[in-house]
Structure 1
Amino acid sequence: MKTPTASSVHCLLRRPVAARPGNLQLAIATSITAASTTSSSSSLTTTPGTTSCSSCPPTRQQTARAFSVLNRPPPNYPGHVPLTRIERAALALGSGVLSLANTYRGDLIAVCGEATATPYFIHRLHRAMLASATGRRILRDRPRITSSSLDLPRLRALPPNTVGGTYVAWLDREGVSPDTRSAVRYIDDEECAYVMQRYRESHDFYHALTGLPVVREGEVAIKAFEFANTLLPMTGFALLAVATLKKSERQRFWSVYGPWALRNGLRSDEVINIYWEEEMETDVQELRQRLGIEQPPDLRDIRKREREERRKRNQGMAGAAVAGS
């Protein structure tokens, strides 16, 4: 008696069997042979409710539908929105253009950052964290940077030269809060989504470490620093906002803050690997030296002096006009 092959077993299983004693015995024997063949042959593939093999055409249930707007896969984490390539490109372009028109729209900047971070750049940042012992601990612990998790009243009691004291003083001076960062939605990989969230929530620490304010000129400078350090496309795209600065601000960026940002961003350690929660009592200058970051000229003082000079110049011109009349 010939031993049934995988193909013949499959075809026998799919063929209706009449309720006669001989056929019933044949069906039982065939089922036993099919079970043993399935366990030893790689040509058979079993899915719930179906039986298939490499030599038979797939059934309609076995044919997977392509990812499309009408067939969106389930989210990989709470809040996740899977996107097609066309949707991702449209989102990146739209949010990028609108954020250039209004550089204070943090929500649009966040969306642009997510839409342009895949498929390569967020994975590069993820690998940078995996290559660092501190980065791996951050990925394991997954801390969040919020006003409650940081205990801001405790930070205000720290000496002003500490990282925590410098950070909370910067928050109070600029009138911002760590609770305003949007949740990541458009990055498919769940762990990479946390990497983007960590980068986003660490942004104010980069400001505090460098002393750059949240005015447009300061944001462009800090984005240039982040681009050199993280290579995230959104941070490089944000440099187009230089064109929206005043003439004196553009000159200052190209002569002072642009070169500073590229030099320090390239030579410093990966700032994504700073476990800020463990550095609160560290001397801020010690941390700058450890990371290889030099503090740029105080932009707020520069802008304040410029305003005072303009005011004096305008007063002088007004006085000369009155005297001449």
Structure 2
Amino acid sequence: MSALRFRVGLTRQSIRTRISLRGTLPVCSQARHVKTPAYDGHIPLNWAENAFMAVGSAVMSLLDPRRGDMIAALGETTAGNSLYKLREQMLESPEGRRILKERPRVNTDTVDMTKLAQLPEGTFGRTYVQWLERCGVTPDTREPVHYIDDPELAYVIQRYRECHDFYHALCNLPVNVESELALKWFEFVHFGLPMAGLGAVFGPLRLDATKRARLFREYVPWALRCGASAKPLIAVYWEERWEMNVADMKRELGMWDPPEAIWSKKLSEAKKAKLRKEQANASTTPEA
């Protein structure tokens, strides 16, 4: 009888231990399948669907790096527990907590680009607008999040996605392949997102031997050191720093410039091209 009581007690203790351990695991590691959407645009996936989407988006991203939707899907389906780490970084600072509470978005509806263009030279806002003009890009092209179950974690990866161009502007890097790969190495070290690591590893296959050698000789050492030393960028309220001097900003964030990038055209040429485009659009617009 005493042996039976001992075995029953051991079984109860084992069950309690398993329940306790299970309660400490992140939701994503329990392969929970959400049957109904948790937010607008949410597409719930079970573990098999998530794996299929991860493999498919990875293949499509390699075949056509211009497929922003596939790159976004790859980032979401491979994010895993890295998003929990990023959220913890945001919760550890008052600035990051306000971002999670207020959930600001970065696009032309929420950011007054005309006002930023009028800021003094050398400010973050002016630098950001000049970078957009020079590269001919807009913040309105970022894909919405679909495959992250938790609404707050979905915002975390959306925030990461929409702030990507800020790192380009701060580091004075264009949108060519070499510069994107340099930032992918930086982001993998800094944010720990698997998607950035995949891009850093397989992306160099698209470069010729000369550019690949420069990437690993100059940009990767910068990315490894700078990415590891920079303060958590996910917790930076960028919209409150438009008027801050870029040099001061980089010192505060623990960042420094990468090796000088090769731009396809100078800033003055980009401004002239923009002016010609605006004049052409004005001449073709019918009068009211």
Taking structure 1 as the reference length, what is the TM-score of the superposition? 0.70
* Residue identity opposite 1:126 in structure 2: R
Aligned to 2:83, which of 122, 134, 151? 122
Say whether residues 1:77 and 2:39 are aligned partners: yes
Paired residue secondary structure (2:262): helix
Cα offsets for 1:239-297 (capped at 9, x unmatched): 11111111111000110001111110001011111111000000001010111111112
* Structure 1 residue 67, shift from structure 2 partner: 7.3
Say whether residues 1:212 and 2:173 are aligned partners: yes
Say whether residues 1:285 and 2:244 are aligned partners: no
Aligned to 1:252, which of 214, 237, 253? 214
2:129 maps to which residue? Answer: 168
2:68 maps to which residue? Answer: 106
* Residue identity opposite 1:92 in structure 2: A
1:97 maps to which residue? Answer: 59
Kindly indicate whether the alpha-carbon contact (under 8 Å) linking 1:221 and 1:261 is maintained by their aligned counterparts in 2: yes
* Structure 1 residue 108, shift from structure 2 partner: 1.0
1:295 maps to which residue? Answer: 257
Runs of 4+ residues deviating >3 angstroms: none
> What pairs up with 1:28-43 in 2 under 5 angstroms?
none
1:42 maps to which residue? Answer: none
Q: Which runs of 5+ in 2 are unaligned?
A: 1-30, 266-288
Say whether residues 1:189 and 2:163 are aligned partners: no
* Residue identity opposite 1:278 in structure 2: E
In the aligned structure 1, how far is the partner of 2:122 from the partner of 2:67?
32
Q: 1 or 2 for the larger relative contact order (CA 8 Å, sep ≥6)? A: 2
In the aligned structure 2, how far is the partner of 1:224 from the partner of 1:101?
20
* Residue identity opposite 1:147 in structure 2: T
* Residue identity opposite 1:209 in structure 2: L
Kindly indicate whether the alpha-carbon contact (under 8 Å) linking 1:103 and 1:216 is maintained by their aligned counterparts in 2: no
Greater shift in the superposed pair: 95-104 or 155-164: 95-104
* Structure 1 residue 147, shift from structure 2 partner: 1.1
Q: Which runs of 5+ in 1 are unaligned?
A: 1-65, 305-325
* Residue identity opposite 2:142 in structure 1: R
What number of residue pairs does the alignment pair up? 235
In the aligned structure 2, how far is the partner of 1:180 from the partner of 1:84?
28
* Residue identity opposite 2:76 in structure 1: E
Say whether residues 1:156 and 2:127 are aligned partners: no
Say whether residues 1:263 and 2:228 are aligned partners: no
* Residue identity opposite 2:74 in structure 1: C
Aligned residues with identical type, % of pairs: 47
2:138 maps to which residue? Answer: 177
Say whether residues 1:133 and 2:94 are aligned partners: yes
Change in 2 beyond 3 A, CA 1:207/1:67: closer
* Residue identity opposite 2:259 in structure 1: P
Say whether residues 1:238 and 2:199 are aligned partners: yes
Task: Tell me which structure has the larger Cα radius of gyration.
Answer: 1
Cα offsets for 1:139-180 (capped at 9, x unmatched): 011100011211000011011200000000000000000110
